[in-house]
Homo-oligomer: A and B are copies of this chain.
Amino acid sequence: MWHKDLRELIDTLEKKGKLIRVKKEINKDTELMPLVRWQFRGLPEKERKAFLFENVVDSKGRKYDAKVGVALIGASREVYAIALMCKVEEIREKWVKALENPIEPQIVGSGPVKEEIHVGGKLEEHGGLEEFPIPISTPGFDPAPFITAPYWVTKDPETGIRNVGTYRAMVKGRTKTGVLAALAQHIGIHLQKCKAAGKPLEAALVIGGPPVVGMTSVAKIPYGVDEFSVASALAGEPIPLVKCETVDLEVPAYAEIVLEGEITTDYVEPEGPFGEFPGYIGRPTLSPIFKIKCITHRKNPIYQAFISQMPPSESSKLRGIAYEVLLYRHLKHYCNITGLLDVAFHEPAGSHFYCVIQLRVTHPAEAWQALTSALSLAPALPKYVIAVDDDINPRDPDAVNWALATRVMPHRDIRIITGRISWLDPSAAPQTVGEAEATFPAVEGTSALIINATRKWPYPPTALPAKEYMERALQIWKELGLPELAPREPWYGYNLGYWSDEFKEAAELAVKGEYYKIAEIYAQRVRKGEEKQSEKTPS
């Protein structure tokens, strides 16, 4: 079971009350993204929904046939699970299984994406990119609309192995976009190989299509693995692809829009600036140009955009879930962290910098092994890694701060690791330095902080009433008609290893009103001539 295109997904979202359909006329250049932005700045995650704009205009008063869908797959973890047709708690297992067992996609003769084909003279006649209402993401700062949810399909010119990745594309003309990709990214490797061979890189830019393609396109899947095969594994069957018209590439048959063309390897032009995931406007770059030769699309296409920039956003949700899966798999399957329970990248910190690892520690070394191993998947992230126990919710910043407060002694439990690299991190170096220096400032690069916030020895119980009393009080709370609760863990007291039978018995007597009995026992332990001190330890 999978959503084979965006239209099926939109139906499902609407049925589940997770779609906001906007019929009012909305300006894509000034109003559309700011409106969706509000839900990410003003609503809790569980209330966030997908948006479908049905009546889009631009600042020149132009109307569009196409609708615009934003936050369709990444409005929240729940929307993501709906798109993936599973429960929230099943996302990770489904992903790990797909990574371990990719399925070859299937080439089919044709598909809806071929309903309209604009090539040669027809391309300009239909307006090229102007046919689609591409929104401005950060009005007031962005110098153009950018395509924010492109799935760039390219092939390694030597091996022929496909890559699908999401790299921002600045709209520069009817048949021209920029493409921002670091040389170390997978499309960058293809570009370098083509440049060495003295030829441009063929590319197809896919917009819309099966949700599983979007999920894999934004994930850091190892080089040489075809994202369509992981997407097929997430779908549970081969996803149908069709051949492009003008380039030797395949694209999803149920995509909404496909742009076919070539990326230059012999020159670059200015591109950007553009709002980026750390929450600041990213610096402009000199980047290659994508020259569009052909556009194919469904009738009345849905133009899909991710909302990115300041976290939390759709883009940080999508990347975050994928990072969590990849790091979980790395630690559990390849680094042998058997006590690993969960990996949480905090979204307000861009789903990149701040990572909490939840463990059931079986040996003191395990937390440190997990912390150092968490830096071994990639040199650029995370910047903070915090190991917490199984009773700390790794996604709750207040719970993590409580663990930092009471389970960490800084000089013993915190280490700084240098020699790291940084992408788009404005704290690495001033904006005025070159890209190489900003990525790895001489001589020791950037750094990470690793924190062992697990308990180092048995702790006394948490200072809350025992479960039975909290449960009884919850009944009374409801009987009194008091406001609805959103309980935060921990909400009852539990033993963390340091508690004696004597204490237990004393507490049982106390709730029966028999506390004088305890006071009598205590009175027999009087210490004459002594001052205030700790009592002996429990047995």
Contact = CB atoms under 8 A, between A and B. Distances in A.
Q: Copy number in this complex?
A: 2
Contacts of A448: 410
Contacts of A401: 346, 348-349, 354, 397
A268 B140 contact: no
A22 interface: yes
Nearest to A273: B503
Contacts of A486: 42-43
A225 interface: no
Interface in A462-497: 462-470, 472-474, 476-477, 479-480, 482-483, 485-488, 490-491, 493, 496
Interface string A144-170: 110000000000000000000000001
A283 B519 contact: no
A456 B429 CA distance: 9
Interface stretch (A98-106, A296-304, A529-537): A529-537
Q: How large is the interface on A (under 10, 10 to 19, 20 to 34, 35 or more residues)?
A: 35 or more
Contact of A280 (B180, B404, B459): B459
A183 to B, nearest CB: 6
A4 interface: no
A519 B172 contact: yes
A224 interface: no
Nearest to A490: B310
A182 B532 CA distance: 7
The residue in A144, A407, A418 that gathers the most chain B C-beta atoms within 10 A of its C-beta is A144
Interface string A28-52: 0111011101110111000100000
B30 A405 contact: no
B523 A349 contact: no
A111 interface: no
A274 to B, nearest CB: 8
A15 interface: no
B141 A461 contact: yes
Interface in A101-146: 136, 138-145
A428 interface: yes
A394 to B, nearest CB: 13
